[in-house]
Amino acid sequence: MDILCVGAGFSGAVIGRALAEAGHSITVIDARDHVAGNCHTARDPATGVLVHEYGPHIFHTGDREVWDYVNAQAPFRPYRHSVRTTVQGRVFSMPLNLLTINQFFGTTLRPDEARAFIESKADTSIRDPQSFEEQALRFVGPELYEAFFRGYTEKQWGTSPANLPASILQRLPLRFSYDDNYFSHAYQGIPAEGYSAVVTRILDHPGIDLHLSTPYRLEMADRAGHVFWSGPLDGFHDYDLGRLGYRTLDFDRFEKQGDWQGCAVMNYGDRDTPHTRITEHKHFAPWESHEMSVLFREVPRACGPGDTPYYPIRLVEEKALLSQYVARAAANEGVTFVGRLGTYRYLDMDVTIREAMDTARAFLADPGRMPAFVHAPL
C-alpha cells in the first residue's frame, strides 16, 4: 500500500521504517528542511559544537526494546544529566536532593533526618494533591516551593502553579540522597553524532521516499492508502475550531571562550530573571573538545500562529477544544494521528518511539481497521 507519513520526527520515521520493512511503499514529508523534528541537532558553524536546535534533549528510558532500537541505528554515548539551578543569588543542585536541602537550610542532615525534616514542612492536610502547587506544598513545603518551583513554573507556563496539574511536578524526582541524576531511568545517553544522524539512519530504507521542505497538501492524501499525521492535530483541520494552546520558546544565542557555566543546563528559579535556563551545548558531548562555546538563554512565551509549538498547555479550556478536535479526527477515515503534536501530549522521545512502534504493529495486524488514535489524547 502507498502510505504517507507527515512529519520526519521520531514518530513519522519509526512508523515509516516499520511499514517499509513490511513491504509498503512509504512517502515521508516534512515542512522543515531537516529530519528529526524538535530533536534536530546540527553543528554550530562558528564553534563546531553539536547543538540541540530546539532545546536540550537527553535520551532516557526504562524500555529495553526502545533503547536497543535507537542504539542499533547509531552509537549512543553514556551521558548522565545533572542540572544546577540559580536562586536567590546561590547555586543549588536540581532535582531536589540531600545536597540541595542541606545547602538551602544550612543543615547537615542525613537521609532519614532530611526525610523527617521535609515531612515536618509539608502540608499533610493536602491528601490528594490535584494542582502543581498542592503537589509541591504537600511534598516539599513552602520554602522549597517558593525558591525552586514557583517562579520557574510561572515563567515556563505563563500561569500560576495553582492552575497547573500535579503531573507536571511529578516529572521531577525528590531524593533524600546525594544522587543528582535528573532522571531515574535505567538507560540514559546521547547519540555520538546527534539525533538527526539517528533519524537519518531510521529513514534510510529503499522503501522510503523522503521529501523535506514539503508542507502537507490535501491532494497528497488522495494518493495514499493511509496517512500517519504527526503534525498538529488542530493544524490538520486548518485550526477551524480555534488553536490548541502551546508555549513556545525564544532562544537567545551567545558565544564564549572555553567553559562558561561548567554544566550543560543551569536553571534560573527567580521570577525576575526572564529566562528559565541557559544551555551550554558542548557539555552534552564531553567526548569532544572545542575551544569556543555556544550557549542559549531560553525564554518561554505564549505560542502564536507561525511560532514553533513546544509545550502543550492542556488546561481546562484546551481540553474542551481538544475533545472537539478528537471527535473531528475520529470522523476521518484513513488518517491516524500520532506523536507529540498529533495527540497534543507532552511525550518524551522514548515514549514517542514506543507509541510509534505500537502504531505500526496495529496497522500491520489489521490495516483496514486502523483507528484515528492508537494512543488517545484525553
The residues binding ligand FAD (CB under 6 A) are 6-12, 29-32, 37-39, 54-59, 215-216, 230-231, 235, 310, 339-341, 347-350, 352
Among 97, 200, 267, 279, binds ligand UDP (CB under 6 A): 267
Among positions 269, 300, 339, 377, the unique one binding ligand UDP when judged by CB under 6 A: 269
Q: Please, how many CA atoms are within 13 Å of residue 265, restricted to the half-sphere of its CB? A: 20
Positions 202 through 241 that interact with ligand UDP (CB under 6 A): none
Q: Which one of ligand FAD, ligand UDP, none is in contact with 85 (Cβ closer than 5 to 8 A by kind)?
A: ligand UDP
Look up residue 128 and give its three cell numbers.
Answer: 490528594
3-state secondary structure 203-228: HCCCCEEEECCCCCCHHHHHCCCEEE
Binding at 169: pick from ligand UDP, ligand FAD, none (beta carbon under 5-8 Å per type): ligand UDP
Q: How far is the CB of 232 from ligand FAD (least distance, A)?
A: 6
**Would you give the DSSP letter of residue 162?**
G
372 — phi, psi (to 5°)? Answer: -65, -35
Residue with smaller CB distance to ligand UDP, 149 or 228: 149
Question: Binding mask 138-157 vs ligand UDP (x if CB under 6 A, - otherwise)?
Answer: ----------xx--xx--x-
The whole-angstrom separation of Cα 187 and Cα 202 is 20
What kind and span of H or E run contains 154?
helix 151-157
Q: Taking Cα atoms as reference points, which of 173, 191, 190, 169 lies closest to residue 182?
A: 173
Helices and strands (DSSP H and E) totals, the chain: 14, 17
User: Can 348 be counted among the known catalytic residues?
Assistant: yes
Catalytic residue among 80, 171, 253, 271: 171
Q: 11, 230 in Cβ contact below 8 A?
A: yes
- Which residue is catalytic, options 138, 277, 340, 354? 277
Of 175, 201, 340, 354, catalytic: 175
| Catalytic (active site) residue 314 | no
243 is catalytic: no
The set of catalytic residues is 171, 175, 247, 277, 298, 346, 348
